[in-house]
Amino acid sequence: MNKNTEQQVVMVVEPDVLVRMVVADHLRECGYKVIEGVAAADVWAVLQIGDHIDVLLVDLDLAGDVDGFTVATRIRQTYADVDVILTSGISDAADKAQDLCEDGALKKPYQAKDVAARIKTLQARRRVSKNKA
Amino acid sequence: MEAVATAQQESVDRRKVVLLVEDEFRIRWTTSEYLRDAGFRVIEATSAYEAIEVISCLTRVDIVFCDVNLNGEINGHLLARWVAKYHPDVAMLLTSGDPSASALVATGRTRGFVPKPYLLADLQLQLEEMLERRYSK
């Protein structure tokens, strides 16, 4: 298949559901196919069955015993065709998702600060709902 | 201001919102991809706790599709009771490999059960039927 006409696949590995949801939604709106994971095992599950990942956006802190840095190191050694982007924190994740969107199939008028602001709004609601509970 | 902008973003998207709660990665991956291709907006949660966070923070979730057996302290039945109490307008479809689990699902136009294993096409149909019932008077 012609790679230029294929939908590019980004795997977002992020254990915080609100961050993962907003970043994944943003990337989908930019034209990417997005796979969502929370742990290193999820990445291996995709690669081991032979599915292709173009870009791996992985947070340093993951669910499970293996951190994002270890995942990035292993991927670079074993799957050299997968681009790995390590993220740390909301603003960093938003910035790097926005960088990807600049290259995406569809350009959306979002800015990285909008992605970060949306995550922070949802997290503020989470704190409010926790206080009510 | 941010909350207003967020609510506006959510209201512009007309796709039905399915909150998929499944702790098994492969099932969550394949099911969410299928449902997105079918035209739903799918939010993926890996536990009932995450599902509660999403429902509490988003302005709109139309239906929760949840496995009865989940990792963590809250299983699908408890999540269904929480949704019924705090968000009764949100529809709830439970699934389990144990058919007897269906006996614990409260009946009603916005409550349903689909046994595992299920065909993704059947799941799509059931979600669409439940959403139609939910929005019909």
The pLDDT of residue A89 is: 84
Report chain B residues whose CB lies below 8 A from the CB of A125: 3, 56-57
DSSP B106: P
End-to-end CA distance of chain B: 34
8 A C-beta contact, residue A129 and residue B82: no
The pLDDT of residue B7 is: 55
The pLDDT of residue B66 is: 95
Q: Is residue A133 one of the residues assigned to a domain?
A: no
**pLDDT class of A1 with cuts at 50, 70, 90:** very low
Stretch A85-112: mean pLDDT, rounded? 79
| Domain count across chain A | 1
Could you give the CA distance from residue B137 to residue B135 in angstroms, rounded to a whole number?
Answer: 6
- Could you report the per-residue pLDDT of A43-71, keeping only the tens digit for each? 999 999 989 999 999 999 898 899 999 99
Cα B75-B35-B23 angle, rounded to 5 deg? 25
The pLDDT of residue A2 is: 39
The pTM score is 0.88
Q: Is residue A105 one of the residues assigned to a domain?
A: yes
Q: Is residue A111 one of the residues assigned to a domain?
A: yes
- The one-letter amino acid code at B87 reads H
In order along its 137 residues, chain B shows pLDDT tens digits of 455 555 555 556 789 999 999 999 999 999 999 999 999 999 999 999 999 999 999 879 999 999 999 988 899 999 999 999 999 999 999 999 887 777 666 666 678 899 999 999 999 999 999 999 877 75
The token pair at A31 is: 């034209």
Q: Is residue A39 one of the residues assigned to a domain?
A: yes
- The one-letter amino acid code at A112 reads A
Which is more confident, A120 or A11? A11
CATH number at residue A74: 3.40.50.2300
The pLDDT of residue A55 is: 93
The pLDDT of residue B44 is: 98
Question: Angle between the B76-86 and B48-57 helix axes, to the nearest 10 degrees?
Answer: 20
Q: Is residue A72 one of the residues assigned to a domain?
A: yes
φ, ψ dihedrals at A13, nearest 5°: -115, 105
Element (H, E) at B112: strand B111-115
- Which candidate, A133, A110, A94, A28, places its Cα nearest to that of B41? A28
DSSP code string of B11-77: HH--SPEEEEE-S-HHHHHHHHHHHHHTT-EEEEESSHHHHHHHHHH-S---EEEEESS-SSS--HH
The pLDDT of residue A115 is: 78
pLDDT > 90 in chain A, percent? 53
B122 near A CB under 8 A? no
CB distance B5–A117 less than 8 Å?
yes
pLDDT > 70 in chain A, percent? 88
- Which candidate, A41, A77, A71, places its Cα nearest to that of A56? A71
Question: Angle between the A17-29 and A112-132 helix axes, to the nearest 10 degrees?
Answer: 150
Q: What ranges do the domains of chain B cover?
A: 2-135
Which is more confident, A40 or A50? A40
Q: Is residue A61 one of the residues assigned to a domain?
A: yes
Q: Is residue A82 one of the residues assigned to a domain?
A: yes
- Which candidate, B121, B120, B31, B23, places its Cα nearest to that of A15? B23
The highest-level CATH class for domain B2-135 is alpha beta
For residue B22, CA distances in Å to A19, A61, A124, B61 come to 18, 21, 25, 16
For A125, the closest of B9, B33, B57 (CB atoms) is B57
Q: Is residue A83 one of the residues assigned to a domain?
A: yes
8 A C-beta contact, residue B103 and residue B111: no
CB distance B6–A20 less than 8 Å?
no
CB distance B53–A42 less than 8 Å?
no
CB pairs under 8 A between A and B: 58
